Structure 1
């Protein structure tokens, strides 16, 4: 007989986490773990042995880096807002990805409830689930929010090298069918009530983070500002393989993390360990990440 959990999308527990945030309700849903592979081939600018020593010191695997994909759904100010859509049907990063819609069903959330889909940028693991394989929108009642720079860069593709062909094809497949629903946001704009864009270029040139405010509480959804809570915190000037402009990305990373640490603003990270909520503190020449306690009992 096959093992009980032979389905790679199966989980030991339902892959969602609800919690109260100010006057809002937040439910983090997962698109499943994403495996990058050899840490030394993905995090650059220092020796491979340095990267592995950093991971070992923090009790993390040294043979591969596995990222989570934490997509918050926020109900506030009369709207239901989803940040990022995961990999969709693509399996270029492994068969454990692509479970976003399943996680939403586990949480009791119908995709038709989503009023707004907010994308930090147009990479495959963020916009890959906007549409189904046949081009039908997965969120039939949602407007799609993205920066104009990222929409144009990744659906046009002429300014990008051949190495980005798969990413461009994915962006076209997911964004062009919903072009009439797309709204462009700009830096510092509160484009939805309680959601303000923060331009943080480098990973892509149109990449943004988002400051979310409800009542007296705030958190910053980081998008892909930093992919790893140890490597790019302890050494924020380290380079990441998938950054379009690694040095600009590092400048954006240190600028935004410094602001969050100074102001004590909670963060929600797309790629950190589940469910991705925590705080940033300055430490030495870099930063340190402190995961927030999960709220498992209703107040």
Structure 2
């Protein structure tokens, strides 16, 4: 039999009681010395559609500021109520910029380019948080020289100004550029430098970026394939040549809607509201309502350029408008 003395038992008990105090002292004396990190991680998101691989690439956030000027015909109180009802800041609206890279196994296709740096100070008209596409493409393992085609939903600054760099050199040296002929003509015509102040830099920027690819342009046509598996559908109004693209492989389809709707709350719940950057606001509203109705009926997943990152989700009917349902980020296939 093992004999344990009374003195040993008392010593063990004293050591047990003292241990928590020692641990507490050690934790209390620890101090975090790491600096805050204010930089953002690379933003890209990859998933499968049938045999295709799709990668959504962020060009960064595009702050609109106070939302009322962007929706000049809408009641300010209703704007505020809709935003606060969705837990969004009613004093500051922010849009994302979700470009798409499609790998069909035969072609590598980029849809829209983001803001870029081609127009110097004008490239930061919405602040310094845009122009991240090329860096994020690199982080996603995609070389701009591998892009076979850049397909534009339209020729606004945040969709085509990264076709070239500040010196006018092509950022996608081996790519064709696909755009509607209507947009190509309109946004490279100096006669259209009238109306809102933004028209001058928008046209100058489109001319600089599109002219660099003038020997390799592809004219997009309504209802026709721009590449195998990619079909364009006209949704005029935001620009007169604005297109959405149905991307299909087998029985799987995802729809890249570009700027069909800029805000996931305001222009879905109120699809007939007018947006200040529309060329023809009333026509844009009708195109939006028509296509959103189709998307809700077809139940195809949607990639929206300006909806919350990564802009992937579904549109569903909700009363006289629509509701946005974001796709869970952990899915690998659609």
Same topology, TM > 0.5: yes
Once the 2 structures are TM-superposed, how far is the Cα of residue 186 of structure 1 from its aligned partner? 0.6
- Residue in structure 2 matching 1:31, options 59, 81, 84: 59
Check conservation: 2:47, 2:332, Cα contact below 8 A: no
SS in 1 for 2:309: coil
Question: In the alignment, does 2:179 pair up with 1:179?
Answer: no
Alignment size in residue pairs = 293
Check conservation: 1:145, 1:184, Cα contact below 8 A: yes
- Residue in structure 2 matching 1:113, options 146, 162, 166: 146
Runs of 4+ in 1 over 4 A off after TM superposition: 3-6, 296-299
Q: C-alpha distance in 2, partners of 1:202/1:298?
A: 33
What is the match of residue 245 of structure 2? Answer: 210
Q: C-alpha distance in 1, partners of 2:303/2:143?
A: 23
Q: C-alpha distance in 1, partners of 2:175/2:63?
A: 29
Greater helix proportion: 2
SS in 1 for 2:212: helix
SS in 1 for 2:109: strand
- Residue in structure 2 matching 1:94, options 127, 134, 139: 127
Once the 2 structures are TM-superposed, how far is the Cα of residue 298 of structure 1 from its aligned partner? 8.8
What is the match of residue 267 of structure 1? Answer: 302
What is the match of residue 71 of structure 1? Answer: 99
Check conservation: 1:40, 1:49, Cα contact below 8 A: no
Q: Flag structure 2 segments of 5+ consecutive residues without an equivalent.
A: 1-34, 118-122
Q: C-alpha distance in 2, partners of 1:174/1:237?
A: 32
What is the match of residue 264 of structure 2? Answer: 229
Question: Given the two structures, how large is their TM-score scaled by the length of structure 1?
Answer: 0.95
SS in 2 for 1:184: strand
What is the match of residue 135 of structure 1? Answer: 168
Q: C-alpha distance in 2, partners of 1:169/1:243?
A: 18
- Residue in structure 1 matching 2:72, options 44, 62, 71: 44
After superposition, give the CA deviation of every residue in 1:93-146 in whole Å (9 maximum; x if it has no partner). 110100100001110111011111000111000001000111110011110000
What is the match of residue 248 of structure 1? Answer: 283
Once the 2 structures are TM-superposed, how far is the Cα of residue 294 of structure 1 from its aligned partner? 1.2
Q: C-alpha distance in 1, partners of 2:93/2:250?
A: 36
What is the match of residue 84 of structure 2? Answer: 56
SS in 1 for 2:129: coil
Q: Flag structure 1 segments of 5+ consecutive residues without an equivalent.
A: none
Once the 2 structures are TM-superposed, how far is the Cα of residue 216 of structure 1 from its aligned partner? 2.0
What is the match of residue 103 of structure 1? Answer: 136
Q: C-alpha distance in 1, partners of 2:116/2:294?
A: 33
Once the 2 structures are TM-superposed, how far is the Cα of residue 64 of structure 1 from its aligned partner? 1.0
Once the 2 structures are TM-superposed, how far is the Cα of residue 214 of structure 1 from its aligned partner? 1.7
What is the match of residue 226 of structure 2? Answer: 191
Question: Given the two structures, how large is their TM-score scaled by the length of structure 2?
Answer: 0.85
Check conservation: 1:279, 1:290, Cα contact below 8 A: yes
Once the 2 structures are TM-superposed, how far is the Cα of residue 72 of structure 1 from its aligned partner? 1.0
What is the match of residue 144 of structure 1? Answer: 177
Check conservation: 1:87, 1:124, Cα contact below 8 A: yes
Q: C-alpha distance in 2, partners of 1:242/1:52?
A: 20
